[in-house]
């Protein structure tokens, strides 16, 4: 048995990151770890080995064996446009990308998934430089992907913070 319960640690990290941003106006650089943890738990994925090249998790169930890249974005202001998805590692080995959107308290709000072919097509529609970097806006990602989870679709007991405090 582990000394620390990871869900409880993530709950504390989430609260610390939100409090730090409110106090300083700057984001604490842990949203990627929170995002990866939440997607793996909520979507029932298996974490990839740290040395895995272009993916963060391996699918189970209907996604059995799929290599999944995980991206996270914390939306601090809904009115502010131009939010970007982190760089998608286009040259690496992966089957789909899951983007988790979190609110200002770093709580999961929705998860979107797009297959590799769809993302390749979507990035070739942009400039060659951006396509090579795997750059994409959150709005574009949402437009070409499928929402696979939403806080509105589930009972509140399944949200990350509720789970961690039980």
Q: What is the pLDDT of residues 8-67, one digit of tens each?
A: 999 999 999 999 999 999 999 999 999 999 999 999 999 999 888 899 999 999 999 999
Tokens of 94: 């992966």
- Domain membership of residue 11 (yes or no) is yes
Average pLDDT taken over every residue of the chain:
87
Handedness of CA 60, 102, 140, 132 (dihedral sign): negative
Question: Residue 68: what are its φ and ψ, rounded to 5°?
Answer: -120, 125
- Domain membership of residue 161 (yes or no) is no
Contact 130, 123 (CB under 8 A): yes
3-state DSSP assignment of residue 153: helix
Query: What is the span of the domain harbouring residue 108?
Result: 6-154
The number of distinct structural domains making up the chain is 1
- Domain membership of residue 163 (yes or no) is no
Q: Average pLDDT of 80-85?
A: 82
- Domain membership of residue 162 (yes or no) is no
Chain centroid to Cα 116, Å, comes to: 16
- Domain membership of residue 81 (yes or no) is yes
Identify the CATH number of the domain in which residue 78 sits: 3.40.210
Integer Cα distance of 140 and 81 in angstroms: 12
Q: Average pLDDT of 124-136?
A: 65
- Domain membership of residue 1 (yes or no) is no
Question: What are the helix (H) ranges across the chain?
Answer: 6-24, 31-42, 116-124, 128-133, 138-144, 160-165
Q: Average pLDDT of 67-71?
A: 97
Q: Average pLDDT of 117-144?
A: 80
- Nearest Cα neighbor of 28 from 8, 14, 39, 40 is 14
Please list, in sequence order, all residues whose beta carbon lies within 8 angstroms of the beta carbon of residue 22, skipping any fewer than 6 positions away: none
Integer Cα distance of 109 and 46 in angstroms: 21
Higher pLDDT, 132 or 91: 91
- Domain membership of residue 96 (yes or no) is yes
- Domain membership of residue 164 (yes or no) is no
What does the pLDDT read at residue 18?
A: 96
């Amino acid at each position: 048995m582990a000394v620390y319960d990871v869900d409880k640690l993530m709950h504390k990290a989430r609260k610390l990151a939100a409090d730090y941003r409110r106090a300083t106006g700057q984001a604490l650089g842990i949203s990627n770890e929170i995002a990866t943890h939440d997607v793996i738990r909520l979507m029932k994925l298996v974490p990839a080995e740290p040395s895995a090249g272009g993916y963060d998790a391996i699918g189970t169930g209907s996604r059995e064996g799929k290599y999944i890249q995980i991206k996270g974005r914390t939306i601090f202001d809904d009115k502010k446009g131009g939010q970007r998805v982190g760089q998608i590692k286009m040259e690496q080995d992966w089957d789909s990308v899951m983007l988790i959107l979190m609110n200002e308290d770093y709580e999961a709000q929705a998860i979107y998934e797009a297959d590799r072919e769809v993302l390749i097509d979507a990035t070739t529609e942009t400039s060659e430089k951006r396509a090579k970097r795997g750059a994409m806006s959150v709005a574009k990602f949402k437009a070409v992907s499928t929402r696979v989870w939403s806080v509105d679709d589930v009972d509140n007991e399944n949200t990350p913070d509720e789970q961690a405090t039980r």
